[in-house]
Structure formats: structure tokens, C-alpha cells
Amino acid sequence: MAVASAAPGSIFCKQLLFSLLVFILLCNACQKIYLRVPSHLQAETLVGKVNLEECLKSPSLILSSDPAFRILEDGSIYTTRDLILSSERKSFSIFLSDGERQEQQEIQVVLSARENKAPKKRHTKDTALKRSKRRWAPIPASLMENSLGPFPQHVQQIQSDAAQNYTIFYSISGPGVDKEPFNLFYIEKDTGDIFCTRSIDREKYEQFALYGYATTADGYAPEYPLPLIIKIEDDNDNAPYFEHKMTIFTVPENCRSGTSVGQVSATDLDEPDTLHTRLKYKILQQIPDHPKHFSIHPDTGVITTTTPFLDREKCDTYQLIMEVRDMGGQPFGLFNTGTITISLEDENDNPPSFTETSYVTEVEENRIDVEILRMKVQDQDLPNTPHSKAVYTILQGNENGNFKISTDPNTNEGVLCVVKPLNYEVNRQVILKVGVVNEAQFSKAANSQTPAMCTTTVTVKIIDSDEGPECHPPVKVIQSQDGFPAGQELLGYKALDPETASGEGLRYQKLGDEDNWFEINEHTGDLRTLKVLDRESKFVRNNQYNISVVAVDAVGRSCTGTLVVHLDDYNDHPPQIDKEVTICQNNEDFAVLKPVDPDGPENGPPFQFFLDNSTSKNWNLEQKDGKTAILRQRQNLEYDYYSVPIQIKDRHGLVATHVLTVRVCDCSTPSECRMNSKSARDVRPNVILGRWAILAMVLGSVLLLCILFTCFCVTAKRTVKKCFPEDIAQQNLIVSNTEGPGEEVTEANIRLPMQTSNICDTSMSVGTVGGQGIKTQQSFEMVKGGYTLDSNKGGGHQTLESVKGVGQGDTGRYAYTDWQSFTQPRLGEESIRGHTLIKN
């Protein structure tokens, strides 16, 4: 089966050929290049390489006269589609153009195909020539987008070798036929010619993959389905456009020339890597337009600065009207425009300066924390930023620290304050030199030097005022000796009146004297000792004793000073030691002695230790480092208390004898000492109880108190609950259903059973007799409006039957007199017994 292809007409190709003809007429041929290539070239195959720089250096435009070949900037030649070269030579031209220098050159390329013929073998049996079968395979077909027709436009023809023997019908399927977009292609079933019915937009459909079919009249398919690729050739019908209509870049002012500002990018919907999408950028206009500060790379779109003189204080924003054009920037290319805004970032390139060259102010003496002056500065940098915020410094005149200057964060003014009192009698005016800089470091502009700090002078006049006495210095130190006797004079504190420069007319008083060591002379301020000065006193700290003194003038103004009496140490205290130590024989057989000398270090250690001869047979004393000693048993002693006389001498020979009580004990630590009871009773009658013993005694006492308190509450709070009327002892018991006293009480009203079920039991404790409590219990039970009485005395149980002599089976009535004779003696007996116990 054979495939035939028809080349479609193209307006774009005509325009391109016309442009190439113009180039040919205007350009001189540079050189001719011969290349030998295979007869069959696939798409994107490297054909060869041409040295373009020998013909034209830095060409801005490289074109090929044959669209089947693509030329790269390095001179490489690639095919854009599959090519089959015939035996004839194929040639095309490369056109080079330099838009800036208006130069154009042409390079002619001639391609010749290499023949690859294999030797033909002939067999003896081959008596006739055989015709080879043609392949059922197409070559790629293409259509130009936006074609103007006429329609239907012939695209390609497919044929099958089976048509020589059969009647073949052709059909196609795929996108553009029976799929979206429908009815774009159709085929004549008898001839196999494929037609296109309308123009196509490549940006929607880059190619169409169809399948061709060959069938006989009876439906037999002698061929496999044939894939058909119809590529849509691009037409430059889309202008490039900027992705963002408004783009903002920032760049620091005073930056170097060539500083990158930003990069713009544009998009072209035409076919990539073709001349239709080869974009060039250009700045059409700069606003403001003078001087020119920016340039753009035509290929990359990178914007850079061209001068180092960008000054935000003159112009802080620039606008660039940009153009992007395809076809490598050729005039016939499509273009679009956009706006770029460039903002200048502020740099600290303008130093602050004072609005006045000098200032004069005044302040009263002795005033502090008062504002005396405000100074303004001007700065052209961006307000309220570190580039314009001022920092003030006093450079000269503030050696005594009387002044402080700060910045008002709201107004950026320098605020001068007095923080230490000024003295009119010392200086009547002070001249200050004040400088100002910015918070941010100064950024030197191009071709300029760092300016000097702006300074100004401030004259501060001090106003005199009638002031009180001055205590200067505030702390005065005098020397004295440890043990200085009472009644002696010491030089005291002296204050001055600044107006007269003397202390006349001042009166002195003590404000503080912790141990009342001194009295003060009211007129001179001198001190007189009232006690012997003792350096070892608890009121002396670091060998110093402090006295606060106030000086008052005639009108009551005063000042306060401190007099420090420094006491030189005197060796008047021998070394001291603890009077009792414990040796636990279960742990160690010695005790460590650590003396303490209240005197200073120069009158203290090293110490010397001595034992009395009478105790040396049981004890041994070992001196260690001059500060401690070890008292050790010569042999294990009994658990007991021992008295050991020890002499301790300091470095200057001051000695003291101490009788040390040594407790030899069976323990591990001194706090757990367990002495023998006999020894403890004989030697030390006062036994020291341990904490657990004390805790047990306290808990036992608390428990005993709780028991006593409980018994008292039970005895005092117990009351008698009454289950019968209060007048039963004085009145007769009357049946509740009778109006008056009856003569008889029936057994139905009063029943006294042998076993009583108590409803209400009341226990009453009436006292103690002979150390034992007497408890009487009475039980009453209400049965059918009557009562049952059980009286337990001596283990007996009495009822009306037993008193009257009536058996339990007797159901007769009881007379009222029987009931009265039964209850009255018993109630009277209980009442008399209660009164007797209460009296006792």
C-alpha cells in the first residue's frame, strides 16, 4: 500500500519566504558550507555545525530559509521533521542579522546524501523479477493553523496494495472525526483522500492522531489499522503578554551601577522554541524620564541600574513602560506592554543637624530630675525610621555627671535634664557640647565622604538659692582602738554652710547609735565615749561602728552624714571552746576540738593546746593545723562523763584554761548517746530524754486527757427520757378511756407479762457510792392504753399477780386499790433514793 502526501499552502510560509528573499537581495554571501548526511533524517537530528562568529559576531537574529531546519545560537543545525533526501543536493541558507550595527550576512548550506547500497544477490532459480510489496505506512502530514482555505482542504491520501486485486473502501476514526472536534476531517472512501473542513487553532489542538482503515466490499480488512498523525503547524497568532500588568520592585538608593532590580517575565501561547515565542524585552519609557537609571536585558528580562545616583530624597518611585515582542524583536513581531514600578528603599545617607547653632538655658542650684532644654534636629531621611531617629550625646562639660540627655520618641527632640545637684558656689555656669547621630549607621553615598557629627553648644546658667548646710563627704571615717576607755574625746563630723563656707551656727544631733557608745557635742559635733569600745561587739561589722549625725542651721534646714569609727583590733580575748564533747566508741575513739578566737586574724591562730598532767594518763592531745586538735583515749574507757582540763594559747601567748566535759558513750552519733542508767544517775541526775520518748509522753498525756474528758461529758450530759406522765409519782394512773377515777382496773387495761418487750428504755445514773456506781433501770411498756412495769432489783421480778397472789391464768379484774398499793411504794422508794444520792 502506498501513501501520498500533498503539501498544504500556508500564508505564513509565503511571508517567511518573502522575508528570506529580501535578506538574500540585501546581504552578501559569507561562505558556502557542504555537509554529507544520510538520505533519511529523523526529526531533531543534528545535521552539522557552522561557525557563525566568523561571518558575523554576536548576531541578534538567526534565520533558516528552509523551515525543515533549525539553527541554534552556537551554529548547530537540527532537523525539525523527518526528511528523505533524493540523489540531488539539497541546499538552504542561514541569515544572520545584528540590529544594533545594522549588519546582515548569509551562509549557504549544501546537503548531499550518502548512498548506502548493498550488493545484490541473484539466485539461479530466479528466472523473473519480483515486485516488492509497498508498506502500509504514512509519512507525517501537517496543516497550517488558521488556514484561509479553500475548504475542504486536501490533507493526505492513503492507499492499500490490496486495491490491485480487490475493491477497497477507506475510512478514518479518531479526534476530529468521530470524537471532539467532530467532522473536522473526512475521507473519500474510494480514493483514500483525506480532507479538512475548517481552520484549526494550534493552541487548542497541537496534533490529531487518527486511524485509517482499508476494507473490502464484504467487510474483509486486508490491512492493519494505519495510525495517521496530522500535526498543526504554528502560526504567530498570539501576542506575548506580561504575567502581571503591574509589578513592583524595590532597590536601595545609592546602590552601585549594575545592581539587579528584578526580572520581568512574559508568556506567549504560540509553539515553544520557535521564532514565534522568541521574546525580546525593551523599556519604552521611564517616568520621570531624566536621567536614565535603568536598563533591561532583552532576552532574560532582568532590570539593572545604570547609574549610582539613585536618590530617594529627590525621587522615591520610578515607573517603567515595558514592551515584550516575539519574532526575536523584529518589527513585524507581535507585542504587548506592561508597567513596572520601582520603589527606592531609604538609606541613612543624610545626617541629622541641629536647627540652632547654640542654646542658652538656666536652672536653680540643687535641683534634680528637672528638664531644662529641648533641642530640635532636621533629617531628610524617611521619618520614624532608624535612619532619621536621633541619638544625642553630651561630648564635653558633663564630667561630673550632672546632666543627662535623651530622645523624645514622639518628637525626636533632645531633652536635657539635670540629674545631679549643681552648686552655684562652685560653678555659676556650665557649657556643654552636644552631638547628634542616627540610630542606624551612616550609609555613605556614591562619590561622597562620611560627614562629621553635627554638634552644638549649650550654656547652662546656675541660679543661686539660699540653701541649707552641706554634709560633705557624706561618710567620714575616724580611727580608734579596741578597748578605748569611756569618757574620752573623738573628732566628730563637720558640716559647712555653703553661703558662709563655715560651720558656725550649726547644731549637731545623733540620729543613730545602736549601742549608745557616744554622746555628741551640740556645737562642735565632736564625740565623747560613754562605754569602752569593743571590736568584738555584735554591733561592730567589719571592724566598723556607724553613727548617723544631722547638722541643722538656724532656720531648720539640715543635712545628714555618717561617721564610721574604725576599731583597730587588740588581743583582749583568749581562745574559746565548747564545754562538752561526745566520743561515740562505736564510730571513732576521739573528739575534734575547734577553738574560736573573737579577736581578729592577727590575734588568733595558730593555737597551742596543753593537757594537765593528771589527765594525760587517760587522754592524748594531738595538734593538727594550728586551728584544731584531736582529743583521743589512750585506752577504751567506761561509758561515763569525764572532766579534762585543757589550756589553749593564741599566737601572742594569751592563754585560757577550759575544763572540758567529755562524754564517752555507746553510740554511733552524739545525738543517739545511750548512757548506763547507774552512771547517768550518779554523775548527772538530769537525764536528757530523746525525742521519741518525749513524743510518747506527750501522746500518752493527750490520750489520758481525752479519756477523762469523754467520761466527764457522759456523766454530766446524760438525761432521763420519760415514757410515762410526769405526775405518776404523785397521782393515780387512770385508764385513758375513763372520765374519772374508777374503782377497778381490768386486766385488759393493765397487763404485766412475764417477759417484757421494752419500747423505751431509760438509764439514769444517780451517783456513786463507795467508789462504785449504782444503776437503776426501769422499763415501761404501753399496752392497749395501759402500762407494764418491770423493776429489776436484786434479780427479782414483781407483777400485780405476785403482789395480789393471782396466777397468770386469772383473767379477773384488779381493784384500783391493788394498782395504787403496787405503784406508790415503789415510786416513793425511787424518789427517796435519788434524793439521798444527790445529797451524798
Domains of the chain are: 33-113 (2.60.40.60), 141-233 (2.60.40.60), 241-345 (2.60.40.60), 353-458 (2.60.40.60), 475-568 (2.60.40.60), 580-665 (2.60.40.60)
Q: How confident is the model at residue 824 (pLDDT cuts 50, 70, 90)?
A: low
pLDDT tens-digit profile of 628-643? 888 887 777 778 888 8
The confidence score (pLDDT) of residue 576 equals 77
Taking the CA atoms of the chain, what radius of gyration do you get in angstroms? Answer: 65
- Of 275-279, 553-557, 661-665, 723-727, the range with the highest mean pLDDT is 275-279
Q: Is 435 helix (H, G, I), strand (E, B) or coil?
A: strand
Nearest to 61 by CA among 264, 280, 240, 283: 280
First vs last Cα of the chain: how many Å apart? Answer: 152
pLDDT tens-digit profile of 230-257? 999 988 999 999 988 788 999 999 899 9
The DSSP H or E segment spanning 320 is strand 317-325
- Of 310-319, 500-509, 674-683, 708-717, the range with the highest mean pLDDT is 310-319
Q: How many CA atoms lie within 13 A of 665 on its CB side?
A: 20
Whether the pLDDT of residue 285 is over 90: the answer is yes
Task: Please state, as a whole number, how many other Cβ atoms lie within 10 Å of the Cβ of residue 784.
Answer: 11
The confidence score (pLDDT) of residue 244 equals 82
Mean pLDDT over residues 383-404, rounded?
Answer: 92
What are the backbone angles phi and psi of residue 838, rounded to the nearest 5°? -65, -40
Whether the pLDDT of residue 362 is over 70: the answer is yes
pLDDT tens-digit profile of 544-603? 888 888 888 877 788 888 888 877 766 767 887 878 888 887 777 788 887 877 777 777
Nearest to 340 by CA among 244, 239, 240: 244
Whether the pLDDT of residue 317 is over 60: the answer is yes
User: From residue 683, how far is each of 429, 659, 663, 672, 680 by CA, in Å?
Assistant: 85, 16, 11, 19, 5
Q: Is the dihedral of CA 535, 539, 541, 547 positive or negative?
A: negative
Strands 454-463 vs 429-438: parallel, antiparallel or unpaired: antiparallel
Q: Which residues contact 603 (CB under 8 A, 6 or more apart)?
A: 569, 570, 571, 573, 597, 650, 651, 652, 654
Whether the pLDDT of residue 4 is over 60: the answer is no
DSSP state of 502: B
